[in-house]
Chains A and B, each alone.
Chain A
Amino acid sequence: MSKRPAEGVQESGERTERGNPRSGPLTEHRLIPAMRWIWIDRILELERGVRCVAIKNVSAAEDVLHDHFPATDQSPALPVLPNTLVIEGMAQTAGILVGHARDFQEKVILAKITRAVFHADTGPGYAIRYTARLDRIDDSGAATTGTAELIDPASGQAAPLADIELMFSHIDRNRAGLAFPESNFVFTGQFISLLRRSGIAI
């Protein structure tokens, strides 16, 4: 019996002997860590087909903050979460909302950033609260509207961070002749884990 890969890890290669993963060369049954690409920490609310609220804590432990922007001879370090990753957090919040509306049966792909307006920068020690609302969904895809708020844990107060409108495609219905894997590569273990630890039944 083969071992089930650990969460966040996906298997690659073929086994040379069924039932004994150690019998072949090491390269044939190595485990490759899946890229951790999860930009929200917890889902606070999920109302089917209506809205999803998620929280992201921004930490100095995140590598990206040390590259964006590092200290130079002229200026000290300025750790700011790139706005593209703020959008990614909204895409994941809204993507879960869209996927949940159809019981995660569709492969939900971010297809268009319709609008993104930023009001502030995000540094370590703050939290981002994403609220995504489902404007419209049909067989082809969905449109969402969302707001991101910057929460200062010192005061508990929230300030506007961004307004983000997105379009999602149900990719299996818009293949245009392209072949995609049968399995749902969008809602993988990382998302299932997120939903479970947020207390959402799936």
Chain B
Amino acid sequence: MTSNPDQVYSKVQEVLVDALGVDEEEVTPQAKLVEDLGAESIDFLDIVFRLEKAFGIKIEQSELFPESVLNDPRYVQDGKVTDDGLAELRQRLPHADLSEFEASRSVEDFSNIFTVDAIVKFVQAKLG
């Protein structure tokens, strides 16, 4: 399976167009899956299934979307991710850019880290 960045991007784009019913032009590298492309929770499962099929890889849902961290009282207090939580997220999500999230740390803002670019990087890392 290829890990050529352009080919990976093109396939991810196709997956997101099919899963979210959006136009190809909307799927830009910086587009946020929830805020810009209208993804809902079940769409993330759909995206995981489609990525597996498109790239012939196996993805545990928690790899891409670490809900367990956000539901863990050790890592979240008063709706905000703690220092330990942030460290855990960095370790779990090496493909994601957390710099913007660090400013608010609010769980409500967490979905914004899922950009098209983050998904592409995740797939590239999986492909090796």
Contacts and interface: CB of A to CB of B under 8 A. Distances in A.
B49 A112 contact: no
A112 B46 contact: yes
27 contacts: A111-B42, A112-B42, A112-B46, A114-B18, A114-B19, A114-B46, A135-B49, A135-B53, A136-B49, A136-B52, A138-B45, A138-B61, A139-B61, A140-B45, A140-B61, A141-B42, A141-B45, A143-B45, A143-B46, A143-B49, A167-B42, A167-B45, A167-B46, A169-B42, A169-B45, A174-B42, A176-B41
B17 to A, nearest CB: 12
A139 B61 CA distance: 9
Contacts of A167: 42, 45-46
Given A111-B45, A169-B42, A169-B45, 10 more contacts: A111-B42, A112-B43, A114-B19, A136-B49, A136-B52, A140-B45, A143-B49, A167-B45, A174-B41, A174-B42
Contacts of A141: 42, 45
A102 to B, nearest CB: 16
Q: Main SS of the interface on chain A?
A: strand
Interface in A116-144: 135-136, 138-141, 143
Interface string B37-75: 000011101100100110000000100000000000000
A167 B42 CA distance: 8
Contacts of B45: 111, 138, 140-141, 143, 167, 169
Interface string B5-35: 0000000000000110000000000000000
A169 B61 CA distance: 13
A176 B52 CA distance: 25
A72 to B, nearest CB: 34
A170 to B, nearest CB: 10
Contacts of A140: 45, 61
B119 to A, nearest CB: 17
A89 B127 CA distance: 39
Interface string B69-89: 000000000000000000000
A58 to B, nearest CB: 29
A138 B43 CA distance: 14
Contacts of B41: 174, 176
A167 B46 CA distance: 7
Contacts of A174: 41-42
A143 B43 CA distance: 11
Interface in A100-118: 111-112, 114
Interface string A140-167: 1101000000000000000000000001
A10 B34 CA distance: 40
From B45, B46, B52, residue with most partner A Cβ within 10 Å: B45
B127 to A, nearest CB: 19
A169 B105 CA distance: 28
B26 to A, nearest CB: 18
